[in-house]
Amino acid sequence: MTHSSARVRELHLYREYFDLVAAGTKTIEVRVKYPHLADLAVGDTIRFRIKGTDETCDVRVERVTEYPDFEALLDGEGPASVNPTVTRERQLANIRAIYPPEKEALGALAIQITPPDRRTL
């Protein structure tokens, strides 16, 4: 059976995270639980783009898990899946620098992605 509702979503990433995704070392993308991501589903494609450039990297969504906050997300997913290059404490600080407390209060999404070199579409 074909999954006809799979979509392509475009999301922006900072260069350092884009490079980790493109290298296949970042397998969990962290996002705030915004309404426009509520229907993100397994099988969807995320096209990551570095804002202001034509650079893109497509990945497949393997799983979407909701958490109440970023600390619970890092505990549940393991910091190495989110960013294997920095400590858990640094990751938490980095994520909170991007998303202020009122955004974190919406909840956090851990989006498991298949790295580009391992995708089977």
CATH number at residue 49: 2.30.130.30
Q: Tell me if 121 is assigned to some domain.
A: no
Q: How many domains does the chain have?
A: 1
* Domain region containing 45: 8-116
Q: How far apart are the C-alpha atoms of 82 and 80, rounded to whole Å?
A: 5
Q: Tell me if 80 is assigned to some domain.
A: yes
Q: Tell me if 108 is assigned to some domain.
A: yes
Task: Tell whether the model's pLDDT for residue 4 goes beyond 90.
Answer: no
Give pLDDT tens digits for 20-64.
999 999 999 999 999 999 999 999 999 999 988 999 999 999 999
Give pLDDT tens digits for 55-100.
999 999 999 999 999 999 999 999 999 999 999 999 999 999 999 9
Three-class SS string for the chain?
Answer: CCCCCCCEEEEEECHHHHHHHHHCCCCEEEEECCHHHCCCCCCCEEEEEECCCCCEEEEEEEEEEEECCHHHHHHHHCHHHHCCCCCHHHHHHHHHHHCCHHHHCCCEEEEEEECHHHCCC
